[in-house]
Amino acid sequence: MSCINYSKWDHIEISDDEDDTHPNVDTASLFRWRHQARLDRMEQQKKEKDDFEKGYKEHQQKMNEIKQKLKESDEKPADQIQVELSELQLQEKKWKEKEAELKKKEKLTPLNIDTICHEGKSKTIINKEKPKKELTDEEKAERQQEFTDKYKQKAKKFGMLRRFEDSQQYLEDNPELVCEETANYLVIWCIDLEMEEKHELMGHVAHQTIVMNFILELSKQMEVDPRSCVRPFFSRIKIGEKQYMEAFNSELDAYKERIKNRAKEKLQRAIEEYEEEERQKRLGPGGLDPVEVFESLPQILKDCFESKDIALLQKTIAEMPEDEARYHMKRCVDSGMWVPDAQNAAGEKTEGNVDGEEDEETVYDTVQDDASGETKNQPTIEDVD
């Protein structure tokens, strides 16, 4: 047999909105009256309870004061104190009776929607979003490469779309494309197209890049997954709100300009790298660029090298001041424009000249020997590219 007492559920006040009214009665007005009457009763009961607790507290305080006076008085308590104590004891009995009456009244009060239950305990838990791990540059590059290998063709197809309806349908069918990697791929593609001077196609792909950027930006503002922002973005853009379309077109124009500037920078850098590679290939045995050396020569020496006239070169060197001649001929040898000993130059390097370089004294003497007709090995003048 169950030991649980269910008697408190026997008397439950009917809900304010219980549909038990007569058809001719204004139900809404009745509900409001019932609700207000119940609130008034509860307020009256609360007032009676508060008044009782306040009065009983004051009574208890007086009792404690009288008892304290009795302790502090002589062995024979004063008649006045004794009379006050008797009155307070009588009042104590009345307070107890009133307390019992209030408890009985509260117990007999039917339960209603506000008193049928109460909160046992309350606990609030706030879920904090875990901070996203910041990827390193290497991890980002690896992630981008994996995406490109897997979804390159799909990303290209999205870049070739134009109508907003087609773009929305394609992204809904391929939600894996709604991410930063797609935007990055389209940016790189735009730069490549601009460098290839495919300006119209670049503008077409740029439009789709801005579409993806707007979706990603919307997801950041709403702090939700980008895939859930596809429909909201296209719903707004297809309405054609003037301010929103102006912002979209303004960003598109600015983006195209940035792509053009970026393409120019890459082309310039590529040209500079190519020129540097060609310069490195031209460097002579002494590490000098023959083009730069040729431009620094006096005009009379330039004519000798342009005509490849060795006799004229030897004569010119002989007529020039010795220090100046030594300086220029040393630079010509270091740049590979002048090979004093063409036959031995293709063989092993001479002992004591490990780097293959000759000092100014040796070069000048070689040219002088050639000029005096004592040349043992015919020198050569190399072309300046």
- Domain end position, chosen among 108, 127, 157: 108
> What is the three-state SS of 222-263?
HCCCHHHHHHHHHHHHHHCCHHHHHHHHHHHHHHHHHHHHHH
- Read off φ and ψ for residue 381, nearest 5 degrees: -110, 120
| Predicted pLDDT of residue 373 | 46
| Predicted pLDDT of residue 354 | 36
| Predicted pLDDT of residue 376 | 43
Check whether residue 253 and residue 319 sit in a common domain: no
- Read off φ and ψ for residue 148, nearest 5 degrees: -60, -45
- With H, G, I as helix, E, B as strand and everything else as coil, classify residue 162: coil
Residue 284 lies in a domain: no
The CA distance from 96 to 56, in Å, is 9
| pTM of the predicted protein model | 0.50
Residue 204 lies in a domain: yes
160: domain range? 148-276
Residue 363 banded pLDDT, cuts 50, 70, 90: low
Check whether residue 172 and residue 85 sit in a common domain: no
Residue 2 lies in a domain: no
Residue 383 banded pLDDT, cuts 50, 70, 90: low
Q: What is the pLDDT of residues 151-201, one digit of tens each?
A: 999 999 999 998 999 999 999 999 999 999 999 999 999 999 999 999 999
For the residues 63-89, what does the mean pLDDT come to?
Answer: 73
Check whether residue 152 and residue 68 sit in a common domain: no
Mean pLDDT comparison of 15-24, 136-145, 332-341, highest-scoring range: 136-145
The residue with greater pLDDT, 114 or 327, is 327
Share of the chain above pLDDT 90, in %: 26
Q: What is the CATH number of the domain that holds 185?
A: 1.20.58.610
By the 8 A CB rule, do 302 and 370 touch?
A: no
Residue 120 lies in a domain: no
CA proximity to 256, closest of 325, 311, 196, 208: 208
Check whether residue 154 and residue 256 sit in a common domain: yes
